[in-house]
Chains A and B, each alone.
Chain A
Amino acid sequence: MILLIYAFALSALFIFFSFLIEWIERKIVARIQSRIGPFFAGPRGLLQPLADFLKLMSKEDIVPIGADELLLTIIPILLASLATFVLMFIPIFTPDPLISYPADLIYIIGLSASIGALIVMTGYINPGPYSNVGAARFGELFLSFEIPFAVSVAVPAIISGSASIAEIVKFQENGIPIIVFAPLGFILLLISLIAKVEKVPFDIAEAETEIAGGWQVELSGRRLAFYRLTMNLETLFAAALCVALYLGAGYGPLLDTLGSAMYFVWFFIKLILVVFVISLIEGIMARLRVDQVLRIFWRYMVPLSFLQLILALFVRLIITL
């Protein structure tokens, strides 16, 4: 029963954080493009993501003719639940996450991969050409970024000698984050995660000017609200994963004197920094072509990720000596 209450409370909290992340991201991108960004809803537009969500939730619910209504109801709920559930494995508030067991990192890789597969499915259950093309493009992108993503997630596990996120975080307790041992792994993870959350320059599956929003084009109302929420939660997951695996989680100065509250403060500062980098890339870059994206991932990222994997094995060997 307590776990159910925790799950409810954490789900609400993660939604709040995902809105906050969206606000930060929109503000940064707006500043880069000489705009003000969200402004009217709440102080400095802080409540704009919430207002957008509520607006979509209250809009007319349209299911295109020929689409599977049942699947279009189940998949958004499942996607948002999965995106929240994976966040519960990451120690954001204290060094011990809500859920932890040996090899939970593998579980996270599997769950986040199933999110990708569900997105591909969404595009195909809508009978629109744009939607189908968007799904096919996301499928190609998904196959391209998953190998560098999975390998760069495995690198901290190899270096720390454990596939448990809590153990990887504890490994960085001494003040040396894993990015020091594997900087290439961090860069690969960050690039793969930008593709995973479909941000510019890897937003080929949405590409509004080419395919009018891709796999999302036929979605409206609460379904679109849930898909957008999932994307925000995934961005939060991406940033939190980078912080937990490579940037020393919530460990930093003053932790001993100020206690565990400082852990969260450090985690949050690092999280904002990762979001800042993602937004910066989004703001200054243009969308790549499909062939360019595939070339980047298959020709450069995949071999580099295997190189990083070999280097990580060497690092582990040196640590254990």
Chain B
Amino acid sequence: MNSLSLSFELAGCVAAILLIIGMPVAYWLAFSNWRGKFLLESVVALPLVLPPTVLGFYALLAMGPRGPLGKLWIALSGHGLAFTFTGLVLASAVYSFPFAVQPLMVSFEAVDRKLLDASALLGAGKWRTFQRIILPLSLPGVVTALVLSFAHTLGEFGVVLMVGGNLAGVTRTVSIDIYDHVQSLEYGEANHLALLLLAIAFAVLCLVYAVNRRVWAPAWTRWSAK
């Protein structure tokens, strides 16, 4: 498997997992009245400011044969986590977590509370209100969360290097491949891949901003959708 399709597979897995985990966390952050909420917010945002090597280092320790995660995984599956694709997915998910949670939380919070009250008064429980009101009105946030966590995972380097190493077809992602090419003075190949990542990053950001500016949204959401 070449490094590009490996990166895409990794980014796809991480984006899907983060959407599922991110929603309840974002919902809780958006609607809980607990005063200690800022604690969880800080934990979620931690990967934004932490050097990837720090995160990767601790992830590696946790996943190693003597780390808690590693031991658990060995007991369950019989082999280790570090330097495997699964380990990579786990560490990447942690690293990209804020990119999924923040847009979801912001768009959940932006839903008019009166709509939620109205839904409750019409007999809808929390789950139905989420499905029928919050989620449809937060679609731009969902798209943003998916796309950003995908793109962020696609471009990561430090965490992958620490946790995954550089095993061709298993953990060698595009960004590491580029590094390899540069190390071996293969600037042509490096440029090839680098340009590709640049193009993807640009396309992804265009998509995010267009969705949030509602360029393709149906007419009724554009004018006075309050």
The finding on whether chains A and B are genuine partners in a shared complex, rather than unrelated, reads: no
Give residues in A with beta carbon < 8 Å to B: none
Give residues in B with beta carbon < 8 Å to A: none
